[in-house]
Amino acid sequence: MSAQGLEVIESTVHLTHEWINELADRLDWSSPRDVLRLMRTTLHAIRDHLGTEESAQFSAQLPLLVRGMYFEGWMPKTTPIKERHVQDFIIRIEGTVADVLEYRGAEDIRTVLKMINARISRGEVEDVRANLPKEIKEFWPAP
């Protein structure tokens, strides 16, 4: 593929695997599929709390494949959502990952947020956190 000028595809697949593997290590989970599901669901929950411009700026720092997942199912005219409480944020994510045997609760969601802190620029993380409701911002560890 590289000889045909498709390095961007190989690169984003590799980078996406790096993100999944890093998160699997941080979570100590054995299933990459479940790790990806938690990451995607958490990214969707973040996305739906952001305005269009901030969401676009945040997504620009995601690997191309992860960015595609981030925008999957997005309906910009319905965002940002009005959900204000961290418990609602957690429940929304848990609705998708509750059947994951290795899922241990809200601390696993915080682990995703910590990995985002490590992978996205500090300034962008701070911008995203500043656009979240207070309880959710406080749930997301500072970079």
Instruction: Convert the pLDDT of each residue in 94-115 to its tens digit.
Output: 999 999 999 999 999 999 999 9
pLDDT (0 to 100) of residue 5: 65
pLDDT level of residue 116 (50, 70, 90 thresholds): very high
Q: What average pLDDT does this structure show over 17-45? A: 98
* Domain 2-139 CATH class label: mainly alpha
The full DSSP string for the chain is -GGGT-HHHHHHHHHHHHHHHHHHHHHT-S-HHHHHHHHHHHHHHHHTTS-HHHHHHHHTTS-HHHHHHHHTT--GGG-S-----HHHHHHHHHHHHTT-TT--SHHHHHHHHHHHHHHS-HHHHHHHHHTS-HHHHHHS---
pLDDT (0 to 100) of residue 82: 85
**Given a cut of 50, is residue 88 above it in pLDDT?**
yes
**Given a cut of 60, is residue 128 above it in pLDDT?**
yes
**Given a cut of 90, is residue 87 above it in pLDDT?**
yes
**Given a cut of 70, is residue 135 above it in pLDDT?**
yes
Q: What average pLDDT does this structure show over 72-97? A: 94
What digits encode the pLDDT tens for the residues 1-30?
Answer: 455 668 888 899 999 999 999 999 999 999
